[in-house]
Amino acid sequence: MQVISSKDNELIKHIKKLKDKKYRDESNEYIIEGVKLIEEAVKENAKIKKIIICEDTTRTYEIPTDIMLEIAKYECVYVTDKIFASITQVTNPQGIMAIIEKSLNGESIDFNQDIIVVLDDVQDPGNLGTILRTVDSIGLNQIIVSKGTVDVFNAKVVRSTMGAIFRINIIEVDDLVRCIKEMRKHHFKLMVTSLQTDNSIYDIDFNKKIIVIGNESNGVSAEIQDIADEKAKIPMFGKTESLNASVAAGIVMYEYVRQKLSK
């Protein structure tokens, strides 16, 4: 078994460069780390280019035998502890990572869904990852993101999705307003969360709705607010005036689930 021990190795240089968004875009690849994400990638038939394993991983991190058997079907590269420590992006690495080719699903929107979730310049990687995981949990297969939204293939976003990234068609659009107007032509109505209304999310019929989740600091942009068909707020009894973007998104999406279950 050959083990890479040099930081000057071309593969190691490539992995380090993939921490940068521009390089990820150029190479059309991104990194995943950890047993759970590797397992999900295998299960969902993600385009795994290479699997990188720390030489002491099987002893130190006790990767289950069945997963190791699946991993063995791919091109595996072993590295020393020191090299793995130089390329990992997590605090407590499990000694295994993979290079994944981005899925090119195009910009084709599925209009057969009951709701379409849209992100308007969400900036926090943890929020984006959690929203993707929530979208997956309610059975949706897509999400629309503005160009100003944090990169979906950011390492923290990928970890936060817990594998949902392999199941969701992520459609990035340059002009979000124009995209929303096109979606409305397919009999969808635009709903935004806003404090400037007396309507509650519990007053909204979540059928054929475009749901926009806004930026953490500024909320949904004024341009999108202006073309909204419906505005609603999440009722709050305490003194807090706003919620974390991913929490708010989860509350709204699970009101859709509640309505669906009640029908």
Return the structure tokens found at 25.
């875009």
Give per-residue pLDDT as tens, 19-61: 999 999 999 999 999 999 999 999 999 999 999 999 876 555 5
Q: Which strands make up the sheet holding 3-4, listed edge to edge?
A: 3-4, 76-79, 47-54, 96-101, 29-33
Residue spans in the chain of domains classed CATH 3.40.1280.10: 115-262
- Whether 247 has a pLDDT exceeding 60, the answer reads yes
Query: Whose CA is closest to 56, among 20, 30, 82?
Result: 82
Beta strand extents in 27-184 (DSSP E only): 29-33, 47-54, 76-79, 96-101, 115-119, 142-146, 169-173
**Eight-state DSSP code of residue 166:** G
Let me know: does 192 contact 225? Beta carbons within 8 Å: yes
Question: Pseudo-torsion of CA 230, 232, 190, 170, nearest 10°?
Answer: 180
Q: From CA 124, how far away is CA 121, in angstroms rounded?
A: 9
CATH superfamily of 3-101: Ribosomal protein L30/S12 (3.30.1330.30)
Give per-residue pLDDT as tens, 161-212: 999 999 999 999 999 999 999 999 999 999 998 888 889 999 999 999 999 9
Fold of domain 115-262: Alpha/beta knot (3.40.1280)
Write down the pLDDT at residue 66.
80
Cα four-point dihedral sign 135, 136, 137, 140? positive
Q: Sorting pLDDT into bands at 50, 70 and 90, what band is 126?
A: very high
Q: How many CA atoms are closer than 13 Å to the CA of 150, on its beta-carbon side?
A: 20
- Whether 258 has a pLDDT exceeding 80, the answer reads yes
Which residues, 6+ apart, have CB-to-CB distance to 39 below 8 Å?
Answer: 67, 70, 163
Return the structure tokens found at 43.
């299960």
Average pLDDT over the chain, rounded to an integer: 92
Q: Sorting pLDDT into bands at 50, 70 and 90, what band is 71?
A: confident
Let me know: does 136 contact 160? Beta carbons within 8 Å: no
Q: Sorting pLDDT into bands at 50, 70 and 90, what band is 104?
A: low
Q: Tally Cβ neighbours within 10 Å of residue 133.
A: 18
Residues in the chain: 263
Q: From CA 86, how far away is CA 44, in angstroms rounded?
A: 28
Residue spans in the chain of domains classed CATH 3.30.1330.30: 3-101
Instruction: Give me the amino acid identity at 4.
Output: I
Least confident of 4-8, 28-32, 53-57, 258-262: 53-57
What 3-state class would DSSP assign to 148? Answer: coil
Let me know: does 242 contact 194? Beta carbons within 8 Å: no
